[in-house]
């Protein structure tokens, strides 16, 4: 019996995992999306269920003015003596913090800030004697880098009662595996203990194609730590970039031991679409799972020169958790938007400060109020999104919306960041209802942050009635379609360049979202758009690999 990688498809980067008895819990980075830090539960390491968020209340963190790729970086989840701990960095918004909960589904505490921790990626370690420590990425010694990208890994003691670091910090690693070779961006550290040895695993090489995972070992938690001669223990950078169906950028791993003593690793990776050597991917960094092998006291995830596999035998865990599979393999679901609360998979851009959406106003529909805010700004717009989880996918909906001015627009957006998106919407042009396609421009001279690509005057039967919208992704291209009264789909624009929304072109650390989006482009509005359902379908080509 085999499982399919990635185990969390789409934008699920920087995974961290812990086991409590027969239960596994996993968290990911969410940057400026809200709710933040999803908590997943599994009994078999393969099938996961979203059970809550660490940051699910607007008063926990202030997301205002944060760019899409700022905010929540690299959470780490740990458990000790009845309490769950998540440590994290809130970039551009306050620094490092820790949250706690007795139940991983929540509620989680407000963040407790850790001002003494200068850097990113804090992670707790609980030793067998009950003592706690916090390891993190930090600046070079004396803050003076010998080369661009030099960082250190440092360790503090940690007081779990008062939730603060204690004592003096110590540098465990300077630069990386061999400072004479100028290793860059040592980060994402985790410490664990096996027998009499302490192991320190870290990401190294940056988050792009040169990403990797390395390991160090010591007899004492405070060091000195010795680098493994066989480092890196995970990378794909030494493989042919033009290989078929590649997985790239692998690193930022965490380890977990099963009940029967086997070891497994979760780590991030990316799935480019052709042409593979360009390393274009729109789904962001995803969560993969692979077994860890031990030899001569050292762990390895993927031996040098070998590819990460899309299929591995199931972990030998006691339970195979059967749940709705929205995260791996082929994915298809429909949200009828007829519940009293939003499905927890919907995400906002930054934390909402008011209630601009409703599931009660028109039963069976999601009502979204048009507001002046736009996705081109670092604000909370009228935006509700879900991840694009495969390169080959589609998102569609039925919308009831009657615009009253050319500035009023509502529809579906495929969104990567403030300056890279495509927007399929209904509006008015020259007094006529139209369906429009916009492309972001990222131009200071643009008042709307986007330019018109295509428009079509709507037929009479769709002017005041429902309009269906669909965005299809086919790897290197997107297509944008519409139809009225459940008729035949019409193509507004076919084969639009998808690389514009890739991480390689757009930058940052996130993946694309399909989202409902309604805006009045800087002007007041009393109008509302209504959405009847949302359907997603994605094909993971790994099933055929």
Q: How far apart are CA 492 and CA 514, in angstroms?
A: 18
> Is residue 14 among the annotated active site residues?
yes
> Is residue 343 among the annotated active site residues?
no
514 burial level (CB within 10 Å; 0-12, 13-18, 19+): buried
State how far the alpha carbon of 382 is from the alpha carbons of 141, 246, 346, 348, 354, in Å.
Answer: 45, 36, 13, 8, 10
Residues 305, 537: contact at Cβ < 8 Å? no
State how far the alpha carbon of 341 is from the alpha carbons of 62, 244, 269, in Å.
Answer: 23, 43, 33
State how far the alpha carbon of 421 is from the alpha carbons of 158, 232, 529, in Å.
Answer: 43, 36, 20
Residue 192: count other Cβ atoms within 10 Å of its Cβ.
18
Write the secondary structure of 179-211 as one string of H (helix), E (strand) and C (coil).
HHHCCCCCEEEEEEEECCEEEEEEEECCCCCCC
Residues 283, 388: contact at Cβ < 8 Å? yes
Residue 473 Ramachandran class (φ > 0 left, ψ -120 to 50 alpha, else beta) = beta
Q: Are strands 164-174 and 366-369 parallel, antiparallel or unpaired?
A: unpaired
Residue 78 has φ and ψ, to the nearest 5°, of -140, 160
State how far the alpha carbon of 59 is from the alpha carbons of 344, 347, 420, in Å.
Answer: 18, 17, 29
- Listed residue (354, 370, 250) closest to 306, CA to CA: 250
Residues 211, 249: contact at Cβ < 8 Å? yes
The H or E element containing residue 545 is none
- Listed residue (246, 167, 333, 296) closest to 5, CA to CA: 246
Q: How far apart are CA 268 and CA 251, in angstroms?
A: 6
Residues 488, 503: contact at Cβ < 8 Å? no
Residues 10, 389: contact at Cβ < 8 Å? yes
Q: Which two tokens stand for residue 497?
A: 């360049």
> Distance between terminal CA atoms of the chain?
16
Q: How far apart are CA 299 and CA 37, in angstroms?
A: 28
Catalytic one of 44, 187, 347, 418:
187
Radius of gyration of the chain (CA): 24
Summarize the chain as % helix, strand, coil (round to 5).
5, 50, 45
Residues 216, 188: contact at Cβ < 8 Å? no
List, by residue number, the catalytic residues. 14, 187
């Amino acid at each position: 019996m085999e499982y399919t990688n990635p185990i969390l498809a789409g934008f699920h980067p920087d995974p961290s995992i812990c086991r409590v008895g027969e239960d596994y819990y996993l968290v990911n980075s969410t940057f400026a999306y809200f709710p933040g830090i999803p908590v997943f539960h599994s009994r078999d390491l393969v099938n996961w269920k979203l059970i809550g968020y660490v940051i699910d209340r607007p008063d926990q963190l202030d997301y205002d003015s944060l760019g899409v790729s700022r905010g929540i970086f690299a959470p780490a989840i740990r458990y000790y003596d009845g309490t769950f701990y998540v440590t994290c960095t809130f970039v551009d918004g306050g620094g490092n913090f820790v949250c706690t909960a007795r139940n991983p589904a929540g509620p989680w505490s407000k963040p407790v800030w850790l001002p003494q921790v200068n850097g990113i990626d804090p992670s707790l370690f609980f030793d067998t004697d009950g003592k706690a420590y916090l390891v993190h990425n930090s600046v070079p010694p004396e803050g003076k880098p010998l080369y661009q990208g030099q960082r250190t890994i440092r360790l503090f003691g940690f007081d779990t009662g008062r939730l603060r670091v204690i004592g003096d910090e110590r540098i465990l690693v300077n630069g990386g595996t061999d400072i004479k070779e100028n290793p860059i961006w040592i980060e994402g550290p985790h410490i664990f203990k096996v027998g009499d040895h302490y192991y320190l695993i870290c990401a190294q090489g940056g988050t792009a194609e040169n990403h990797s995972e390395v390991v160090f070992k010591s007899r004492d938690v405070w060091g000195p730590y010795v680098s493994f001669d066989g480092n890196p223990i995970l990378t794909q950078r030494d493989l042919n970039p033009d290989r078929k169906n590649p997985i790239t950028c692998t690193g930022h791993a965490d380890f977990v031991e099963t009940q029967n003593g086997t070891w497994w690793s979760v780590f991030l990776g990316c799935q480019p679409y052709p042409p593979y050597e360009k390393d274009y991917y729109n789904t962001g960094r995803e969560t993969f799972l692979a077994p860890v092998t031990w030899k001569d006291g050292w762990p390895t995830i993927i031996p040098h020169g070998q590819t990460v596999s899309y299929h591995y035998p199931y972990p030998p865990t006691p339970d195979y958790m059967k749940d709705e599979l929205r995260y791996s393999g082929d994915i298809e679901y429909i949200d009828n938007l007829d519940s009293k609360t939003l499905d927890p998979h919907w995400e906002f851009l930054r934390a909402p400060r008011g209630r601009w959406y409703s599931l009660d106003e028109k039963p069976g529909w999601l009502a979204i109020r048009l507001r002046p805010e736009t996705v081109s700004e670092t604000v909370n717009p009228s935006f509700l999104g879900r991840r694009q989880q495969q390169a080959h996918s589609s998102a569609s909906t039925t919308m009831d919306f009657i615009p009253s001015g050319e500035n009023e627009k509502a529809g579906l957006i495929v969104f990567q960041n403030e300056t890279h998106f495509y927007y399929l919407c209904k509006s008015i042009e020259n007094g006529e209802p139209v369906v429009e396609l916009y492309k972001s421009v990222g131009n200071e001279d643009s008042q709307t942050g986007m330019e018109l690509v295509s428009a079509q005057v709507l037929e009479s039967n769709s002017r005041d009635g429902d309009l269906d919208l669909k965005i299809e992704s086919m790897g290197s291209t997107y297509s944008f379609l519409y139809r009225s009264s459940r008729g035949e789909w019409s193509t507004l624009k076919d084969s639009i360049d998808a690389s514009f929304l890739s991480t390689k072109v757009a930058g940052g650390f996130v993946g694309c979202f399909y989202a409902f989006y309604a805006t009045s482009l800087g002007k007041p509005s009393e109008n509302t758009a209504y959405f009847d359902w949302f359907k997603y379908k994605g094909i993971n080509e790994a099933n055929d690999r």
